[in-house]
Amino acid sequence: QSRITTQRKENDEVEFLSGIFEGKTTGTPIGFIIKNTNEKSKDYNHIKDSFRPSHADFTYEAKYGHRDYRGGGRSSARETACRVVGGAIAKQILIQKGISVQAYVSQVGPLKLKSHYSDLNLKVTYSNSVRCPDEKMADEMFEYIDQIRKDGDTIGGTTTCVIKGCPIGLGNPVFDRLEADLAKAMLSINASKGFEIGSGFSGTLLKGSEHNDEFYVENNIVKTKTNNSGGIQGGISNGEDIYFNVAFKPVATIMKTQTSIDKNYNEVTIDGKGRHDPCVLPRAVAIVESMAALVILDHLLLNQSSKI
């Protein structure tokens, strides 16, 4: 909790209903519940019949013919709390197999980390409220987000995720490519707007001779001299670090007056109310890690049947 996150205070206590006994999994399905204890439904009364700009209000109403206006419903980022629980369990399994998943905030608005992830101490990412591994940049990002908040506005940015220790061979051709599953997982996160892996869009500026990752052998292990591929080639992991970026838009709810329409298509004005984040990036880090861990674990399990 800080000045740059929502003032909503949730304990987020996880109550496990099944699948875990004395701190260990039992092999049965894991069921759990996280109760909302600090909800304020009245904060949303003013948008009961109106569609907030860039929210899911209109599309949900158009598709289903009704919506629960008391928050975002199924489009609310609150549902990601469950993803983080699942991801935490997946990460424990991956750690036992020597695989680590670490995400961090690499850009907020115009403030962008210039250092490559290999030059950063990712272990300190959670030591500040911004979730940026560069302390100086974290301070700048914090002040920038706080000023945006004071202005009644919001800002977007980018998270970077690095997966180390991933074995060779995860992923399948065509529709189950590893990067495709990672992309789907990341773009399923609320407010995400873009995904790039390896060299990403900057790779379009390079020639093939500059972009190709040449192979070599060290201690009988195949490696690449560079890693523009982002650890995945042909949809299958090659043993190098997997790294990618996820772009997040500014939070749609702003503390400013905006014009919109109601369900009868009448023009209305909407004033931002409630407890909302001025920037989702600090909270997105744990969600990105969780979704990445779940995807990698899924592919580890699938890979057990690849050579039957």
- Summarised one tens digit per residue, pLDDT across range 92-138 is 999 999 999 999 999 999 999 999 999 999 999 999 999 999 999 99
Whether residue 308 is predicted with pLDDT greater than 70 in this model: the reply is no
- pLDDT tens sequence across 10-20: 778 999 999 99
Burial class (CB in 10 A: 0-12, 13-18, 19+), 292: buried
At residue 232 the predicted structure's pLDDT band, cuts being 50, 70 and 90, is very high
At residue 275 the predicted structure's pLDDT band, cuts being 50, 70 and 90, is confident
Taking the chain, what is the end-to-end CA distance rounded to the nearest angstrom? 49
Whether residue 8 is predicted with pLDDT greater than 70 in this model: the reply is no
pLDDT at residue 273, as a whole number: 76
3-state secondary structure the chain: CCCCCCCCCCCCCEEEEECEECCEECCCCCEEEECCCCCCHHHHHHHCCECCCCCCHHHHHHHHCCCCCCCCHHHCHHHHHHHHHHHHHHHHHHHHCCCEEEEEEEEECCEECCCCHHHCCHHHHHHCCCCCCCHHHHHHHHHHHHHHHHCCCCCCEEEEEEEECCCCCCCCCHHHCHHHHHHHHHHCCCCEEEEEECCHHHHHHCCHHHHCCCEEEECCEEEECCCCCCCEECCEECCCCEEEEEEECCCCCCCCEEEEEECCCCEEEEECCCCCCCCCHHHHHHHHHHHHHHHHHHHHHHHCCCCC
pLDDT average, residue stretch 73-86: 90
pLDDT average, residue stretch 172-184: 97
Using a pLDDT cut of 70, give the percent of the chain over it: 96
- pLDDT tens sequence across 36-45: 887 766 767 7
| Max Cα distance, the chain (Å) | 70
Class of the domain covering 14-303 = alpha beta
Instruction: Name which residue leads in pLDDT, 195 or 12.
Output: 195
pLDDT at residue 75, as a whole number: 85
Whether residue 85 is predicted with pLDDT greater than 80 in this model: the reply is yes
Q: Pairing mode, if any, of strands 236-237 and 232-233?
A: antiparallel
**pTM value?**
0.93
